Structure 1
Amino acid sequence: MKRLLTLLAVFLLVAGCANIPLESQPVVVSGDKPAQAPVDVPEPAAGIDSLTVTRQFIRNSATPGTANADARVYLDDEARRTWKPSPGLTIIDDTFGTVYDTSSPQENPDEQLVNVRGFKLGTLSPDNAFIPQKAEYSQQFKLRKQANGQWRIVDPPQDLAITDEDFSVNYFRVPIRFYSPDSGTFVPDLRYVAAKPQSGLPGRVMDLVLQGPSEGLKGAVKDLLADQVTTDTNVRSTDDGTLDVALTGIGGASLADRTLIAAQIVLSLQTVTLSRIRLLADGTALVPDHEYWRSSDLPAYNTEIEPNLELKGLMTVNGRVRSLGDGAPVGGPAGNGGYKVVSAAQSVDGKRLAVVEERDGRQWLRVGDLGHDLGSVELFGGSLSRPTWRPVPRGSGGVSGEVWTVVDHNTVARVTLAADGRWVKAGVDATMLTGLGQITELRLSRDGSRLAAVVNGQLVIASIVRTADSVALRSPRSLQERQLKDVVDVDWATQDHLIVATSSSTLPVVKVPLDGQRMDAFNSSNLTPPVHGVTAAPNRQNLVADAGGLWVASELGEVWRPQAHTVTEADPFYPG
């Protein structure tokens, strides 16, 4: 009987251990006993003043996944027990002030009010996406001297604030991938996960995949995983170095959908693991006869949205369209002077050209095959922004058939190719974007899910939501409002990064991720501000235009070099 009981106890212990997660997080304990910080989080140094306590509370609020244990030690016993901060974070500038509140006298010498003042850069939303915001940050803290003589916060805020530097150290940016049926590619959705422990990164990324697209991308992409899909066990590494991802709830998904789900998971995890990935669904291979995956096993989903390297790009010079490859004019009226070209855009596939033509005191749109006569579209105004092409839709036969422009800085318009070969106007619900101000530039992303625009000299992005009978712009957001001003042009360097030109002499060209969480300046050597144009594309040199001509550079720190066929007054553009 003793042996039987011993074996039973061991069995129960092992069974219990099977459900213990690979990572645990401290939780706030309810009840009368004050919650204490974990033993490995020391109490603050003795004797620090209330201003220092407040500053250190903010600096220690950045550590995720610990029930805010590092910040909780700056609270009094009651606050430690009851404090439940809201999900999400406010990110403030690294330089912030803490001052005593002198607006009203404090009757109790053992209590003090401390005001925190700073600049708000953005928030980390509950879905782990960064949302840029430009605002002043202000928060008041009440502190009380404890029986041991130490100052502690008694009313911590529900909304956590951390500095930009601490956010960068403690959070890791990951592009979670979601499928776009429109372009047949995967679209990055920039999200942020706790950087430590590093071993748990794949699990945290997989959680975001299962949550679906962030609020700013919903509707622009397809969520391949239904609400009932979850992981059957923790995402974990096995002894042979394989990363196991076991799903449940896939049900009767087709082979095509299962293959896309596999691609979504592998593409999302590739930034946090080099291991091969074992994908299971309800105990068997997610994709029959394909249990183990690496990113090299996936097809090239971006082939249709990235311009062929043989397409060298074009430029408009003195009313004509010329090649960036050899400087020669393109065929047809667009190159020989038959049209007075103001601006132009080449389709991603390289086969078509859209130009804005000056005619009869107005600007008109023309669209057609490159090297031939371009049909005039019934779309005109006092000004039209440089055209931009929608990517080749999946299943369309490989030919671009939609162009966008902005009429008179306030009307977003698009034209589509009808069955009879005519280019006709189609509607766009752009109210959310046009409500922000005057639009001078517009660029569709080459995956078709977003657009970038210059609005009142600011950089703005928005998502493009398509249904069977409508197209709408949603979730417009201004990026780097505080530092990035006087924007004159923008282009998509990759799916998740933009190259921006400004008229500023101090920041003529910068690189910005699509969420605007940071900004990196290019070397300004050899440029003659103001820069008036920029173009970029995957696997291409960045190309800018200034008063002296055209200049190329591949990296941020690289000195700009003259483009091989540089001319003054040129506006360059890669396909897209």
Structure 2
Amino acid sequence: MRRPLLVLLLVLSALVAGCASVPGESSVQVLRKVTEGGTPDLPAGPVDGTNPLDLVRGFVYASGSTVDRHGAARRFLTPAAGEGWDDAASLTVLAEQFDTVYPPTSGTDPDLMTVRIRGDRVGTLDSLGAFEPAEAPVEIDVTVRRADGQWRIDRLPGGVLVRLSDFRANYRTVKGYFVDPVRRATVADLRYLPAVPAQALPSRAVDMLLTGPSPALRNAAESMVPASARLRTNVTNAPDGTLVVDLTQVGDLDEQRRRLMAAQFVQTLAEINIPRVRLLVDGAPLLAGVQDLTVDAVAGTSATVQPGADVPALAVSGGRLRRLPSGEPVAGQAGNGAFDIAAAATTADGVRVAAVARDGGRRRLLVGPADGELQAVSLSAGSMSRPTWTPTGGEVWTVLDGDVVARVTVDGTGVVRTGQVSVSELTELGPLTDLRLSRDGLRVAAVVGGGLFTGAVVRGPEGDVAVRNVRTLRPTDLGGVVGVDWRADESLIVVSTRADRPVSLVSSDGLTLQLVPSSNLTPPLRGVSAASSRPFLVADQGGIWSFDGGELDSWRQVLGAAPDGIPLYPG
């Protein structure tokens, strides 16, 4: 019996040696299962006797740790490779499952082999800590050498490959704050910084501010920190625990710019739990008479406008705008049946409404007081998307016939003017069916050809407006998208026709994707709305449903018998 057993073992060994592919966890997670702060157990180094395929796999696992210039990963390299490896050249985030295989080769040296890393790229991280979504297959070859009976990586390209789970465990999400040049208010810019050593986080955050906005906000946001600014001394902690940031070469700054610059530093450093900042210029306080700054000291500088707790959620159903959860029509022409309302949006304060009305086989846009008479805008189309307001309530956008974005400005007296937004970067990708302005007004989320896209709102000196820096988010996981809304400045909620993931949360840069439980819902879904600290609202085949992430993890119907219902929060 020994001979058959020996043959079986040899066959199994050959299969393992030919391809080391161990299924990992999915990159899509269930909302209620997500936890933060966990650190995976990374190997201290290769185990003696490790074969080349497992050696390279262990190297990728260990590359998630940034400590000591990826010191854990360097243990898998020969001394020469360790000296030459440029780990700072790039960072590629991989999906969980990847293979290590032997490619076809004509090499004859038994102590020198090539191993190919084969997987799927989720995206890359740039030197500013900004994630760039870019799904694509990845194949990278490394050379391994056997010396003293042990295999080690002897030659490899520059840069680091990190699994998504290891990236999330070893990098900290930090919002850097920059400035909307039109409104002169701060906006968040999503970044990722190595979590350890923790004492290096303040310096890294300051460096991030000195280098400016990420490519996603290029030409849309700016920094009040002059390009010439430098640190006069290292970032340090005062004896009382206050973080001291002393700058130089800032030039002449007016009071507004100084205040916005202070807000950038204070709000960004608050992201890493620094409550007080002593912001100096050549040793003197940036803000005259204010030595230590807190978030309260720069209150009122944020561009984000959330609807007040007293502003109700609404829904369009049966041709009328209705309150939730009562279903009662609102006062005024939006709710009294004067028009056949198909979609609507109110300003963040709930005072003004924009409504899409059905008029035969056409659609037209109406604007006016939420509880009063509506004024027809000189816009008509075969299809018109649900409107979306800027944070100040002075401008509303809607998509006409899937390829034109109309921009309607409304002044304080109610006078309206129409214009267009340049969205060629979106429409060249397919029909545009849903468009939502973020609550800071500097970004859009869009549904184009059933895919999810984001872009930045760039306003020119002559009043022209365009959507630029367009990015596609998770095209593999988010097909069949029918609606999107901003949960917060850094995250989106998405509904799709996919039965396996009808509702998802995705970060605004596409790095993370989480499934929202869909219990009680009847797909396909038609619409979605969200606001900070408010339950999610979606529309299915029977009505409007609400989900607040409670212990039951199920949706609760808030408006029934509404097969055409579309929910909306103000904004």
Q: Same fold (TM over 0.5)?
A: yes
Against the structure 1 CA distance between its residues 488 and 75, is the aligned structure 2 distance closer, same or farther, given a 3 Å change threshold? Answer: same
What's the CA shift for 1:248? 1.6
**One-letter identity of the residue aligned with 2:491:** H
The residue number in structure 1 matching 2:430 is: 437
Structure 1 residues 414-429: aligned runs within 5 Å: 414-417=407-410, 422-429=415-422
What's the CA shift for 1:243? 1.5
Instruction: State the alpha-carbon separation in 2 of the partners of residues 230 and 556 from structure 1.
Output: 47
The residue number in structure 1 matching 2:488 is: 494
Instruction: State the alpha-carbon separation in 1 of the partners of residues 227 and 555 from structure 2.
Output: 52
More displaced, 216-225 or 267-276?
Answer: 267-276
Whether 1:519 aligns to 2:513 is yes
Whether 1:559 aligns to 2:553 is yes
Whether 1:89 aligns to 2:98 is no
The residue number in structure 1 matching 2:27 is: none
Confirm or deny: 8 A CA contact 1:523 1:557 kept in the other structure. no
Instruction: State the alpha-carbon separation in 1 of the partners of residues 158 and 342 from structure 2.
Output: 54
**One-letter identity of the residue aligned with 1:177:** Y
The residue number in structure 2 matching 1:149 is: 149
Instruction: State the alpha-carbon separation in 1 of the partners of residues 473 and 186 from structure 2.
Output: 23
Instruction: State the alpha-carbon separation in 1 of the partners of residues 226 and 63 from structure 2.
Output: 34
Instruction: State the alpha-carbon separation in 2 of the partners of residues 46 and 120 from structure 1.
Output: 30
Whether 1:60 aligns to 2:44 is no
User: Partner of 1:68: helix, strand, or coil?
Assistant: helix
The residue number in structure 1 matching 2:19 is: none
Instruction: State the alpha-carbon separation in 2 of the partners of residues 429 and 168 from structure 1.
Output: 36
Against the structure 1 CA distance between its residues 81 and 272, is the aligned structure 2 distance closer, same or farther, given a 3 Å change threshold? Answer: same
What's the CA shift for 1:480? 2.1
Confirm or deny: 8 A CA contact 1:87 1:125 kept in the other structure. no
More displaced, 466-475 or 479-488?
Answer: 479-488
The residue number in structure 2 matching 1:231 is: 231
Confirm or deny: 8 A CA contact 1:523 1:558 kept in the other structure. no
What's the CA shift for 1:472? 1.3
Whether 1:73 aligns to 2:75 is yes
Instruction: State the alpha-carbon separation in 2 of the partners of residues 233 and 575 from structure 1.
Output: 46
Instruction: State the alpha-carbon separation in 1 of the partners of residues 304 and 214 from structure 2.
Output: 25
User: Partner of 2:452: helix, strand, or coil?
Assistant: strand
Confirm or deny: 8 A CA contact 1:130 1:192 kept in the other structure. yes
Instruction: State the alpha-carbon separation in 2 of the partners of residues 190 and 435 from structure 1.
Output: 27
The residue number in structure 2 matching 1:122 is: 123
User: Partner of 1:120: helix, strand, or coil?
Assistant: strand
User: Partner of 1:128: helix, strand, or coil?
Assistant: coil
Against the structure 1 CA distance between its residues 556 and 172, is the aligned structure 2 distance closer, same or farther, given a 3 Å change threshold? Answer: farther
Structure 1 residues 275-354: aligned runs within 5 Å: 275-302=275-302, 305-324=305-324, 326-354=326-354
Against the structure 1 CA distance between its residues 367 and 539, is the aligned structure 2 distance closer, same or farther, given a 3 Å change threshold? Answer: same
Instruction: State the alpha-carbon separation in 2 of the partners of residues 82 and 358 from structure 1.
Output: 67
The residue number in structure 2 matching 1:529 is: 523
Against the structure 1 CA distance between its residues 197 and 215, is the aligned structure 2 distance closer, same or farther, given a 3 Å change threshold? Answer: same
Against the structure 1 CA distance between its residues 558 and 288, is the aligned structure 2 distance closer, same or farther, given a 3 Å change threshold? Answer: farther
User: Partner of 1:187: helix, strand, or coil?
Assistant: strand
Percent identity for Structure 1 against Structure 2: 38
More displaced, 44-53 or 117-126?
Answer: 44-53
Whether 1:162 aligns to 2:154 is no
What's the CA shift for 1:538? 1.9
Confirm or deny: 8 A CA contact 2:224 2:257 kept in the other structure. yes
More displaced, 439-448 or 526-535?
Answer: 526-535
User: Partner of 1:378: helix, strand, or coil?
Assistant: strand
Instruction: State the alpha-carbon separation in 2 of the partners of residues 161 and 420 from structure 1.
Output: 57
Instruction: State the alpha-carbon separation in 1 of the partners of residues 527 and 398 from structure 2.
Output: 17
Aligned length, in residue pairs: 527
What's the CA shift for 1:51? 0.9
Instruction: State the alpha-carbon separation in 1 of the partners of residues 530 and 289 from structure 2.
Output: 40
**One-letter identity of the residue aligned with 1:362:** R
Instruction: State the alpha-carbon separation in 2 of the partners of residues 483 and 84 from structure 1.
Output: 32
The residue number in structure 2 matching 1:13 is: none
Whether 1:505 aligns to 2:499 is yes
More displaced, 118-127 or 229-238?
Answer: 229-238
**One-letter identity of the residue aligned with 1:496:** E
Against the structure 1 CA distance between its residues 405 and 251, is the aligned structure 2 distance closer, same or farther, given a 3 Å change threshold? Answer: same
Whether 1:571 aligns to 2:571 is no
The residue number in structure 2 matching 1:45 is: 47
The residue number in structure 2 matching 1:99 is: 101
Runs of 4+ in 1 over 4 A off after TM superposition: 418-422, 563-567
Could you report, residue by residue, the CA deviation over 1:76-133 in whole angstroms, capped at 9, with x for unpaired residues?
A: 34333333245331100121111112x2332222221211111111111222111112
What's the CA shift for 1:168? 1.1
Whether 1:174 aligns to 2:178 is no
Could you report, residue by residue, the CA deviation over 1:407-460 in whole angstroms, capped at 9, with x for unpaired residues?
A: 111222212237995433313221111122121111001211000111122221
Instruction: State the alpha-carbon separation in 2 of the partners of residues 477 and 244 from structure 1.
Output: 37
Q: What RMSD, in angstroms, separates the aligned Cα atoms of the two structures?
A: 2.2
What's the CA shift for 1:325? 5.5
**One-letter identity of the residue aligned with 2:160:** L
Instruction: State the alpha-carbon separation in 2 of the partners of residues 224 and 557 from structure 1.
Output: 44
Q: Extract unaligned runs of 5+ from structure 1.
A: 1-40, 393-399
Could you report, residue by residue, the CA deviation over 1:161-183 in whole angstroms, capped at 9, with x for unpaired residues?
A: 11112111211110111122434
Instruction: State the alpha-carbon separation in 1 of the partners of residues 509 and 479 from structure 2.
Output: 17
User: Partner of 1:293: helix, strand, or coil?
Assistant: coil
More displaced, 455-464 or 406-415?
Answer: 406-415
Confirm or deny: 8 A CA contact 1:88 1:128 kept in the other structure. no
Confirm or deny: 8 A CA contact 1:354 1:365 kept in the other structure. yes
Confirm or deny: 8 A CA contact 2:368 2:414 kept in the other structure. no
Against the structure 1 CA distance between its residues 58 and 549, is the aligned structure 2 distance closer, same or farther, given a 3 Å change threshold? Answer: same
Instruction: State the alpha-carbon separation in 1 of the partners of residues 110 and 556 from structure 2.
Output: 68
User: Partner of 1:311: helix, strand, or coil?
Assistant: coil
What's the CA shift for 1:43? 6.0
Confirm or deny: 8 A CA contact 2:495 2:502 kept in the other structure. yes
**One-letter identity of the residue aligned with 1:571:** I
What's the CA shift for 1:285? 1.1
More displaced, 418-427 or 365-374?
Answer: 418-427
Instruction: State the alpha-carbon separation in 2 of the partners of residues 140 and 306 from structure 1.
Output: 49
Confirm or deny: 8 A CA contact 2:90 2:160 kept in the other structure. yes
User: Partner of 1:216: helix, strand, or coil?
Assistant: helix
**One-letter identity of the residue aligned with 1:106:** G
Confirm or deny: 8 A CA contact 2:538 2:544 kept in the other structure. yes
- When normalised by structure 2's length, the TM-score is 0.87
User: Partner of 2:525: helix, strand, or coil?
Assistant: coil
**One-letter identity of the residue aligned with 2:122:** L
- When normalised by structure 1's length, the TM-score is 0.86
Instruction: State the alpha-carbon separation in 2 of the partners of residues 183 and 489 from structure 1.
Output: 28
Confirm or deny: 8 A CA contact 1:183 1:391 kept in the other structure. no
Confirm or deny: 8 A CA contact 2:547 2:556 kept in the other structure. no
Could you report, residue by residue, the CA deviation over 1:326-353 in whole angstroms, capped at 9, with x for unpaired residues?
A: 4222233322222121111112232211
The residue number in structure 1 matching 2:541 is: 547
Confirm or deny: 8 A CA contact 1:522 1:556 kept in the other structure. no
Instruction: State the alpha-carbon separation in 2 of the partners of residues 564 and 94 from structure 1.
Output: 38
Could you report, residue by residue, the CA deviation over 1:225-256 in whole angstroms, capped at 9, with x for unpaired residues?
A: 01111222222223322221212223321222
Confirm or deny: 8 A CA contact 1:277 1:294 kept in the other structure. yes
Confirm or deny: 8 A CA contact 1:508 1:530 kept in the other structure. yes
Confirm or deny: 8 A CA contact 1:457 1:487 kept in the other structure. yes
Structure 1 residues 406-421: aligned runs within 5 Å: 406-417=399-410
User: Partner of 1:305: helix, strand, or coil?
Assistant: coil
Could you report, residue by residue, the CA deviation over 1:286-321 in whole angstroms, capped at 9, with x for unpaired residues?
A: 111111122233323448711122210221111111
The residue number in structure 2 matching 1:195 is: 195
Instruction: State the alpha-carbon separation in 2 of the partners of residues 479 and 558 from structure 1.
Output: 29
Whether 1:375 aligns to 2:375 is yes
Could you report, residue by residue, the CA deviation over 1:42-63 in whole angstroms, capped at 9, with x for unpaired residues?
A: 7633322111221122222233
What's the CA shift for 1:404? 0.8
User: Partner of 2:546: helix, strand, or coil?
Assistant: strand
Instruction: State the alpha-carbon separation in 1 of the partners of residues 79 and 309 from structure 2.
Output: 64
User: Partner of 2:484: helix, strand, or coil?
Assistant: strand
Confirm or deny: 8 A CA contact 2:318 2:562 kept in the other structure. no
The residue number in structure 1 matching 2:140 is: 139
